[in-house]
Structure 1
């Protein structure tokens, strides 16, 4: 049976982007705006995943959507702005997740795939451990030596992307595409700045894993 995905957004821009992402999966999509939340999330409606654009004026509905998804044991994926991360993290509970507005299709697809898998199989592994560092992909948190490290979202996204692709060298342009997303038009030197910050926060031992490949880019060894 095809999985049922409910997509709620007031932005045609995100609706278009996620239509492409969801087309990779064998799903049926019911879509609407925040004016149709109660109808789309009614108890009698079967759903395997809810995708909600929690941005701008729609952010006011996030508690309602989270509560309705929780009542029906339905995984929830929120599309958020960096400015609302603290608010969103405060209301989300597993197996829900969020993705940044402007994230590349690959990141969006990975989040959707994990949540759809969770609807079938329950818990999935969200922890990556390298030496004394632990990355929690569900909570976007990093610990080194048992102590939390305060990364910005983009620093975290850069680190987690490289760690999930060990031994693979990425050019600066490729990292901009994978980490910074659809709508970033800045220069590639911003990658160098973020790499320096990540290395400094990791400490000298772990920083050795984030290697510079001269003339190409960076890799996690």
Structure 2
């Protein structure tokens, strides 16, 4: 499964902050575009997995252009944001997996509806996503992103980082980490843990590295 991309088409900026929150909550990149820049956005070379269409103030020709783009590219799932007072004029694309949400819906509902369109059930779900500061870990695909850019980790570096990040605020001895990450059959020394911790810290950068705390005389802890 590849990194998910969302195209936001909106005339107003009312959902920009919501999209920022969504970017941190899910493993996604977001490209916001206005009606006048829509043609440039769809010709940018990006493949989009979801189109979020904020209908407020949009002219019919923009809605038609979005419909054509969605249908011409394999019926990209579309989430329409509609003002409650205008639900009677709600327009959804005729084909594909589509949904709508009112503009007054909660952040949690917005996140869930986007997630259901991005992950229709057979792929990773939001529970597979761990976000800490500028880092996102996709537990289903074994991918780590810093500021939306992939980090090149070995399997053991990834396993160590993901184990610590999913078991925060608890110190683990080097011996325990060897057993839990490398496996009970591993015969190497505890220095292996220190080497991998050092490599992980260097690859994820200082912001995330500051969460990986050395506990003197014990081992390591992932601080939230």
| TM-score computed with the length of structure 2 as normaliser | 0.48
Greater C-alpha Rg = 2
More helix by share: 1
Q: TM-score, normalised by structure 1?
A: 0.48
